[in-house]
Amino acid sequence: MGKCCSYIVLLMSVLFFVACRTARPVSKEETHNGVTKLRSRHMKRLVEFAALQLNAPYKWGGSSPKGFDCSGFTWYCFNHSGLTLPRTALEQSTSGKKVRGRKAKTGDLIFFKGPDHQQKKVAHVGIVVSGRKQNIKFIHAGSKGITISMLREDYFRKRFKGIRRVRR
């Protein structure tokens, strides 16, 4: 039994040494005020979490799986991932940094003006799932609940306002 314990201690020591040698320290670029930046893999998880909410009902002012409005949905998903967003689509449209459509990435916020063609303010928000330019797919809370839509659809293409990247 003494020999077995020695092997276990040796094995644990080797595993500890290997783990310490392969662990990568977090660089200054990856942190901001002690908060680790969310990389693309984290954004992928955010979108996967958002997809779990598919078919949840629409509810004006809602911010839970019992019912979401568009900004309540994005707020809920980002909050779950450790990111704080303002509550309304208009306020969210000033978060992060502006991104061109061809540079859109999974987890970016995508914004639209309202259905009134005269309206210029942001009135709707979603989360980019995939794609570039007009082929952008996004998940959002619409009148039929949480759904995935395409930017190339006339309704969204005509109302598109921009994309923002929030990563901290």
**Cα separation, 162 vs 118, whole angstroms:** 17
- Which residue of the set 4, 77, 80, 124 is catalytic? 124
The mean per-residue pLDDT over the stretch 81-103 comes to: 94
Q: Do the Cβ atoms of 126 and 138 come closer than 8 Å? A: yes
- Which residue of the set 5, 42, 77, 140 is catalytic? 140
pLDDT, residue 2, reads 58
pLDDT, residue 4, reads 45
Q: Do the Cβ atoms of 72 and 58 come closer than 8 Å? A: no
**Cα separation, 139 vs 53, whole angstroms:** 10
Pairing of strands 122-130, 109-113: antiparallel
**Cα separation, 118 vs 129, whole angstroms:** 29
Tell me if residue 80 is catalytic: no
- Which residue of the set 4, 5, 32, 70 is catalytic? 70
pLDDT, residue 168, reads 62
99 or 11: which leads in pLDDT: 99
pLDDT, residue 9, reads 39
Tell me if residue 124 is catalytic: yes
Tell me if residue 20 is catalytic: no
The mean per-residue pLDDT over the stretch 94-102 comes to: 93
Q: Measured on CA atoms in the order 142, 139, 127, 159, is the torsion positive or negative?
A: negative
Domains and CATH numbers, the chain: 38-165 (3.90.1720.10)
Which residues are 148's β-sheet partners? Answer: 139
